[in-house]
C-alpha cells in the first residue's frame, strides 16, 4: 500500500509538470507507416471453441514439426488498424497533449483513411505508400511479418521533393524533439537521416533532443548498425541523443559492441551491461525495456523502474511504441530519467490493457 501511494504521488507530480510544459513543446517523428493486420493463431478447435497457442515457442515447435511436410494454421482475426513505429509513437505522444508533426509512409496522393485516428491528434505529412504488417499475437509476445515500404522513396532527393523543403525546415526549426524510429525495417532511411543533418539540422537552433528506436535489429549486418551509430554521432553534435531498446535489440548491441564482457564465466548484471554499452555508444542516455523492469543510464547515473505485468493483454503489437511515447514526453518535459521510465511503464500498460493509447490523465490515474 505504501509503495503504491509513493508511486501515485510521483505520477501526480509528473502529471503536473507535463501539464505545465506541454503547450510550449513540439515533437517531430518519422518515417515509417504500416497497415497492421492482427491475428491470434489457433492451435486446434474443440467443441468448446478455439484453443490458442500459449506462446511463440509453442507456435515455433509446431512449425518445426512440419519442417519436411506441409501444414496449415488457422488465424483468428483481431483487427486491421494503423501501425508502424512512427504512427504508433506519434499517436501516443499526441494523445498525451504534445503537438506532433509526423512524417511517414501515410499514402501516395493522399493520406490513407486507416491513419485518420493518428491525424486527429497529429499533423501528418506523407511521402510514399505504407507497408503492410501481419502480426501474430500471443499472451506474452508476438511475431510480425511484413511487406515493406518502397525503399526508393527513402532516397533523400525524392523524400525532400515529396515532403517539401519549406515544410522540412519548419518541422526541424519548431521541434523540441525529433524522434527517428524503425531503422531496422527501413535501412534505406539512413539517406533521410543524413540529408536532414546536412541540409536542415545543422542550420537549426542547437540543443534539441534526438530520440532513436531501432526496432528489431537482430537480422541486420554489423556494418548497417555501425552506419546507424555513425549517423547518431552526427546528431549528437547538435543536441542530446537517447536510444530506447527492447531485450532482443539490447542483446544484439551487446554482442556487437561489448563482446569481451559477455565472454566471462559470470556476466555482469543488466544495469552494469547497460552502462558498459552506453559508454561505447554516442548517446547521452540509453534505455532498456524488459518485461520485468525498465532500466536507464545517463550522465546522472543508473535508474530502474519495475514494469507492470498484464496476464491477459488486450493488445501487444504497439506496446513498445506506447512505452516510448511516455518516455519521450518525460524527456521533452525535462523529467529525471527515472520519472521518464515510470511514465513509459504506465503509458505502455494502459495500451496493453485497453488496446489503445491513453490521455495523460488516464495514464497517470489522476
245 DSSP β-pair partners? 288
Asked if 340 and 331 touch (Cβ cutoff 8 Å), the reply is yes
Q: What's the rounded mean pLDDT across residues 280-286?
A: 98
d(CA 222, CA 82): 31
d(CA 166, CA 160): 9
Asked if 258 and 273 touch (Cβ cutoff 8 Å), the reply is yes
Which one, of 296, 306, 182, lies nearest residue 242 by Cα? 296
Q: Residue 204's CB: how many other CB atoms inside 10 A?
A: 18
Asked if 237 and 206 touch (Cβ cutoff 8 Å), the reply is no
Tens of pLDDT along 220-261? 999 999 999 999 999 999 999 999 999 999 999 999 999 999
Mean pLDDT computed over every residue of the chain = 95
Q: Is 327 exposed, middle or buried (0-12, 13-18, 19+ CB in 10 A)?
A: buried
Sequence-ordered alpha helix ranges (H) in the chain: 2-21, 56-65, 85-95, 116-121, 156-163, 165-174, 190-199, 222-236, 247-257, 259-262, 270-280, 319-332, 337-354, 360-364
Percent of the chain with pLDDT over 90: 89
- What pLDDT band is residue 198 in, cutting at 50, 70 and 90? very high
The pTM of the full predicted model, rounded to 2 decimals, is 0.92
Sign, CA dihedral 187-344-258-143, equals negative
Amino acid at each position: 500500500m505504501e509503495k503504491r501511494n509513493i508511486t501515485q504521488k510521483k505520477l501526480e507530480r509528473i502529471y503536473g509538470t507535463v501539464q505545465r510544459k506541454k503547450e510550449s513543446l513540439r515533437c517531430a517523428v518519422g518515417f515509417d507507416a504500416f497497415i497492421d493486420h492482427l491475428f491470434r493463431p489457433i492451435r486446434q478447435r474443440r467443441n468448446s471453441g478455439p484453443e490458442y497457442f500459449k506462446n511463440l515457442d509453442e507456435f515455433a515447435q509446431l512449425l518445426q514439426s512440419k519442417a519436411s511436410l506441409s501444414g496449415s494454421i488457422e488465424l483468428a482475426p483481431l483487427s486491421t488498424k494503423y501501425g508502424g513505429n512512427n504512427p504508433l509513437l506519434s499517436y501516443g505522444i499526441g494523445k498525451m497533449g504534445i503537438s506532433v508533426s509526423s512524417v511517414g509512409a501515410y499514402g501516395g496522393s493522399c493520406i490513407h483513411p486507416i491513419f485518420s485516428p493518428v491525424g486527429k491528434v497529429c499533423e501528418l505529412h506523407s511521402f510514399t505508400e505504407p507497408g503492410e504488417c501481419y502480426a501474430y499475437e500471443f499472451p506474452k509476445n508476438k511475431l510480425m511479418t511484413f511487406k515493406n515500404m518502397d525503399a526508393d522513396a527513402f532516397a533523400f532527393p525524392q523524400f525532400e521533393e515529396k515532403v517539401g523543403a519549406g515544410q522540412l525546415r519548419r518541422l526541424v526549426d519548431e521541434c523540441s524533439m525529433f524522434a527517428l524510429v524503425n531503422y531496422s525495417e527501413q535501412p534505406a532511411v539512413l539517406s533521410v537521416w543524413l540529408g536532414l543533418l546536412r541540409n536542415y539540422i545543422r542550420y537549426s537552433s542547437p540543443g534539441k533532443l534526438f530520440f532513436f528506436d531501432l526496432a528489431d535489429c537482430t537480422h541486420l549486418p554489423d556494418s548497417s548498425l555501425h552506419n546507424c551509430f555513425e549517423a547518431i554521432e552526427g546528431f549528437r553534435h547538435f543536441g542530446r541523443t537517447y536510444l530506447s531498446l527492447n531485450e532482443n535489440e539490447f542483446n544484439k548491441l551487446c554482442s556487437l559492441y561489448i563482446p569481451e564482457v559477455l565472454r566471462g564465466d559470470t556476466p555482469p548484471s543488466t544495469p552494469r551491461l547497460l552502462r558498459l554499452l552506453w559508454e561505447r555508444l554516442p548517446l547521452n542516455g540509453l534505455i532498456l525495456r524488459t518485461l520485468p523492469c525498465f532500466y536507464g543510464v545517463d550522465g546522472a547515473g543508473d535508474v530502474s523502474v519495475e514494469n507492470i505485468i498484464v496476464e491477459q493483454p488486450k493488445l501487444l503489437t504497439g506496446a513498445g511504441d506506447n512505452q516510448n511515447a511516455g518516455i519521450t514526453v518525460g524527456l521533452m518535459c525535462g523529467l529525471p530519467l527515472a520519472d521518464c521510465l515510470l511514465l513509459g511503464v504506465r503509458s505502455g500498460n494502459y495500451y496493453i490493457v485497453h488496446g489503445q493509447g491513453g490521455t495523460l490523465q488516464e495514464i497517470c490515474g489522476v
